[in-house]
């Protein structure tokens, strides 16, 4: 999807966003745009600065520098201006456990001015979207983890926002519930809603997002469609080696091999190698350890993917 | 404004639903008030021994006995013991033969009693003695005003009117004002104000809990200004405090027969007292970093203010620094307001205590509101 240039076609414009907490720079000069109707993923490990970025976009915390505009409306911390345009689904389960699902939605709806018949109509609609209508009258503390997550999402889209922001909405839930949530988000994207989706799950980003930004250490490392990002890596493959010991030393040895772009120890026994033509290079890679106390116990060759992109850009693998 | 009311109503309902505010703000204090009232007025309670020193103005002697003491003797509330002089009466008080003694002078009355004991059972006895004596002496002073300094005539007629007399008197022994409210009311008001400082925490301190659970972030992401959220939470504290005090006063009045005085004056006292308590909890919320720390700090504040303020026993009578510290507490001024309202006094009698309570609320509440704004963040 092409990057929109007309202001009316830009759902979110983030320019030069910075935020520090003491000496810790959480977000460092972040720029990106989301087009109207686009699902945009912010992909990065825990601590990358995704939640801080979202908090500034939603006006929850003040930026040290930079601006946020949602459909041309400037968002500022402490000001209600423009908030109605945004639907925010926080990472935490921000619902009241002693209230039923429906009463939770009624309360959050009132904060956006939704009352009476209009509120009930919208509540029914979002309950249908997240498949919770039959349990709407139950106290939310009786819900499963997945149901609570879905209610969390329903509360964010109740007031028909034009930009839905979801901060790691599938953390800590079972695969079935995760699929249900991903289906719901995909449906919202298909319906034309602009979505900002943060995750550290590669497969979610690949499945849902039209475009992605890869974030690490508070910075945006790259932005583009999946195809654009993968093309940055070229024909490189990722080879994950499981070794008997000393992964760091193993990585050191592998870096000297011709064709190896990078080799990084992910933990004590795993080495990720970015290589040109991994299949052809595999005998050399394994042969590196001949005559050493390090034994190769497993080999996994990955086709070019966002994993490879992340490894290429940050030097580390993106892990759950 | 509407969103403030929405949040306020949501929170008040939540506290009613989980019964936390009902238990702390109503059930627990009512139970304690009832138990202590039973102890005070139970069938096994002995009559109050009170001494009277001979001499002084014959008019006052007659008024004291016929207008105040005799009816109480007939009701079985007190027994009267005569002493020839102040020294003998004082010794009787110190020895515990009588709870207090009335010294009749030429133009007024003094009450002799020992130093205030510390401890709940003794405090109750002291409270009762004080209340009875003040009633007694107050009536006599009124009699003195009505009769004039020199006339002996009309004592019998005046005695019948003494029941409606105001009852506050300066005590010669300690130079303090002593409550003219009865012991039950004193217990009820002390416990009501004590629990008030626990009840109000359910409003403002929920900011810290909601910050932890993430619901505050969601509320702040809505078109709601942070000050509106803070105003709503402060409002919740205020409403819960108001509900608690009103329920306690009405219940103790209807069930236990307590006497609170002029309703308008009491209402003003309650409003100002709740405001003072709400200001305190706002300050605690602004200073504390976690909900647990805030809850602990507020409990400590409530306990210390309650003890200093005389919720359980009068610190004023302990003298020294305690008498000074007690005047720094809202509890003391709430009680002082009730004292001033007894005996049919107008609501204006509560104005000074109300002003002091408002001053307390301002001194604590302004920095409290400023600091509590920090708690309104995701």
CA distance B232 to A104: 18
CA distance A177 to A165: 19
Residues B32, B127 within the same domain: no
CA distance B191 to A181: 52
Interchain proximity B213–A155, CB inside 8 Å: no
Q: Which chain A residues contact residue B215 at CB under 8 A?
A: 94-96
Interchain proximity A90–B219, CB inside 8 Å: no
Nearest to B146 by CA among B136, B133, B159: B159
Per-residue pLDDT at B20:
83
Contact B168, B176 (CB under 8 A): no
Q: Could you say which of B215, B220, B223 has the minimum Cβ distance to residue A95? A: B215
Per-residue pLDDT at B137:
57
Which of B118, B153, B178 finishes a domain?
B178
Which of B140, B159, B178 finishes a domain?
B178
Overall residue count recorded for chain B in this entry:
378
**Residue B308, Cβ neighbours under 10 Å: how many?**
18
ipTM of the complex: 0.78
Residue of chain B whose Cα is closest to the Cα of A84 = B223
Q: Which chain A residues contact residue B223 at CB under 8 A?
A: 80-81, 83-84, 111-113
CA distance B170 to B173: 9
Residues B104-150: tens digit of each pLDDT? 777 666 777 655 333 333 334 444 454 555 555 565 555 555 544 33
Residues B53, B17 within the same domain: no
Tell me the residue range of the domain where B249 lies: 2-38+184-375
Residues B168, B55 within the same domain: yes
Q: Which stretches in chain B have pLDDT values below 70?
A: 40-47, 63, 67-68, 71-72, 74-77, 107-109, 113-180, 315-319, 343
Interchain proximity A98–B18, CB inside 8 Å: yes
Which of B178, B203, B221 finishes a domain?
B178
Per-residue pLDDT at A1:
46
- DSSP-derived 3-state class of residue B222: coil
Residues B285, B327 within the same domain: yes
Q: Which chain B residues contact residue A113 at CB under 8 A?
A: 223
Q: Which chain A residues contact residue B221 at CB under 8 A?
A: 58-60, 83, 86, 88, 90
The counts of H helices and E strands in chain A are: 10, 14
CA distance A81 to A261: 49
Per-residue pLDDT at A2:
44
Question: What CATH number is given for A235-303 in this structure?
Answer: 3.30.70.100
The domains of chain A are located at 7-230, 235-303
Question: How many distinct structural domains can be found in chain B?
Answer: 2
Place of tokens 């403002």: B204
CA distance A59 to chain B (A): 7
Q: Which chain B residues contact residue A68 at CB under 8 A?
A: none
**Alpha carbon of B320 to those of A33, A153, B8, B170: distances in Å?**
70, 62, 43, 18
Nearest to B221 by CA among B373, B376, B371: B376
Question: Which pairs from A105-110 meet CB under 8 Å and 24+ separation?
Answer: A105/A151, A105/A154, A105/A155, A105/A158, A107/B6, A107/B10, A108/A155, A108/A158, A108/B218, A108/B222, A109/A158, A109/A159, A110/B3, A110/B6
Residues B12, B84 within the same domain: no
Model confidence pTM above 0.90: no
Per-residue pLDDT at B67:
63
Hey, which CATH number is domain A7-230, 3.30.1330.60, 3.10.20.90, 3.40.50.300, 3.90.1150.10?
3.40.50.300
Q: Which chain A residues contact residue B17 at CB under 8 A?
A: 98
Query: What does the pLDDT profile of chain A (320 residues) look like in tens digits?
Result: 444 455 568 999 999 999 999 999 999 999 999 999 999 999 988 888 999 999 999 999 999 999 999 999 999 998 889 999 999 999 889 999 999 999 999 999 999 999 999 999 999 999 998 889 999 999 999 998 889 999 999 999 999 999 999 999 888 888 888 888 898 889 888 888 999 999 888 888 888 999 999 999 899 999 998 888 887 776 677 888 898 888 888 888 888 888 888 888 888 888 888 887 777 788 888 888 888 888 888 888 877 777 778 877 877 766 54
Residues A209-222: tens digit of each pLDDT? 999 999 998 999 99
Residues B225-244: b if buried by 16+ CB within 10 A, e if exposed: bbebbbbbbbbbbbbbbbbb
Residues B171, B191 within the same domain: no
Residues B52, B32 within the same domain: no
Tell which of A53, A99, A110, A140 to mutate to test the B interface (max B CBs under 10 Å).
A110
- For the beta sheet containing A39-43, the strands, ordered from the edge strand earlier in sequence to the opposite edge, are A86-89, A163-167, A194-199, A39-43, A211-216, A219-224
Interchain proximity B225–A78, CB inside 8 Å: yes
């Amino acid at each position: 999807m092409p990057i929109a240039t007309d202001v009316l076609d830009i759902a979110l414009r983030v320019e030069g966003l910075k935020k520090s907490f003491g000496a810790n720079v959480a977000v460092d000069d972040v720029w990106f745009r989301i087009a109207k109707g686009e699902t945009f993923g912010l992909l990065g490990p825990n601590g990358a600065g995704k939640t801080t970025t979202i908090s500034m976009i939603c006006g929850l915390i003040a930026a040290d520098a930079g601006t946020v505009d949602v459909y041309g409306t400037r968002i500022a911390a402490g000001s209600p201006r423009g908030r109605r345009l945004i639907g925010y689904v926080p990472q935490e389960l921000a619902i009241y456990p002693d209230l039923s699902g429906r009463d939770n939605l009624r309360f959050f709806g009132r904060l956006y001015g939704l009352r009476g018949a209009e509120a009930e109509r919208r509540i029914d609609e979002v309950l249908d979207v997240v498949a919770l209508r039959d349990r709407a009258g139950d106290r939310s503390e009786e819900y499963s983890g997945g149901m609570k997550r879905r209610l969390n999402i329903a509360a964010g889209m109740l007031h028909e926002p034009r930009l839905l922001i979801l901060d790691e909405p599938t953390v800590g839930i079972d695969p079935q519930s995760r699929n249900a949530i991903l289906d719901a988000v995909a449906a919202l994207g298909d319906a034309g809603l602009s979505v900002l989706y943060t995750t550290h799950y590669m497969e979610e980003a690949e499945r849902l997002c039209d475009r992605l930004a890869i974030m690490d250490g508070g910075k945006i490392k790259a932005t583009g469609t999946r195809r654009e990002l993968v093309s940055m890596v070229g024909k490189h493959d990722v080879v994950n080696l499981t070794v008997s010991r000393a992964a760091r030393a193993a990585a050191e040895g592998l870096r000297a091999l011709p064709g190896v772009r990078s080799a990084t120890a992910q933990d004590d026994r795993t080495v990720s190698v970015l290589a040109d033509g991994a299949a052809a290079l595999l005998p050399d890679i394994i042969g590196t350890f001949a005559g050493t106390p390090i034994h190769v116990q497993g080999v996994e060759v990955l086709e070019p993917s966002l994993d490879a992109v992340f490894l290429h850009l940050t030097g580390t693998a993106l892990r759950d | 404004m509407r969103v403030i009311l929405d949040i306020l109503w949501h929170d008040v309902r939540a506290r009613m639903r989980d019964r936390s505010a009902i238990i702390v703000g109503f059930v627990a204090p009512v139970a304690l008030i009832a138990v202590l009232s039973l102890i005070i007025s139970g069938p096994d309670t002995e009559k109050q021994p009170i001494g009277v020193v001979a001499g002084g103005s014959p008019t006052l002697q007659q008024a004291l006995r016929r207008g105040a003491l005799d009816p109480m003797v007939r009701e079985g509330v007190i027994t009267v013991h005569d002493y020839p002089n102040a020294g003998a009466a004082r010794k009787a008080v110190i020895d515990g033969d009588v709870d207090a003694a009335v010294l009749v002078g030429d133009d007024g009355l003094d009450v002799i009693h020992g130093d205030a004991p510390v401890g709940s059972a003794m405090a109750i006895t002291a409270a009762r003695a004080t209340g009875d004596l003040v009633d007694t002496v107050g009536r006599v002073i009124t009699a003195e005003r009505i009769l004039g300094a020199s006339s002996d005539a009309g004592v019998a007629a005046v005695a019948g009117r003494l029941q409606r007399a105001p009852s506050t008197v300066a005590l010669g022994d300690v130079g303090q004002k002593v409550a003219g409210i009865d012991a039950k009311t004193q217990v009820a008001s002390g416990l009501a104000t004590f629990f008030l400082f626990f009840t109000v925490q359910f409003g403002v301190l929920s900011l810290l809990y909601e910050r932890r659970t993430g619901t505050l972030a969601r509320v702040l992401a809505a078109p709601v200004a942070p000050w509106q959220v803070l105003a709503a939470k402060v409002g919740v504290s205020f409403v819960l405090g108001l509900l608690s005090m009103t329920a306690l006063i009405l219940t103790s009045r209807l069930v236990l027969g307590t006497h609170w005085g002029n309703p308008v004056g009491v209402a003003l006292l309650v409003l100002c007292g709740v405001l003072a308590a709400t200001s305190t909890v706002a300050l605690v919320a602004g200073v504390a970093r976690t909900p647990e720390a805030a809850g602990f700090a507020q409990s400590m504040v409530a306990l210390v203010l309650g003890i200093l303020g005389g919720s359980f026993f009068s610190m004023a009578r302990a003298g020294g620094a305690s008498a000074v510290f007690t005047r720094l507490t809202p509890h003391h001024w709430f009680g002082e307001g009730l004292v001033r309202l007894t005996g049919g006094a107008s609501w204006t009698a509560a104005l000074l205590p109300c002003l002091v309570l408002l001053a307390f609320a301002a001194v604590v509440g302004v920095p409290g509101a400023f600091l509590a704004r920090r708690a309104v963040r995701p």
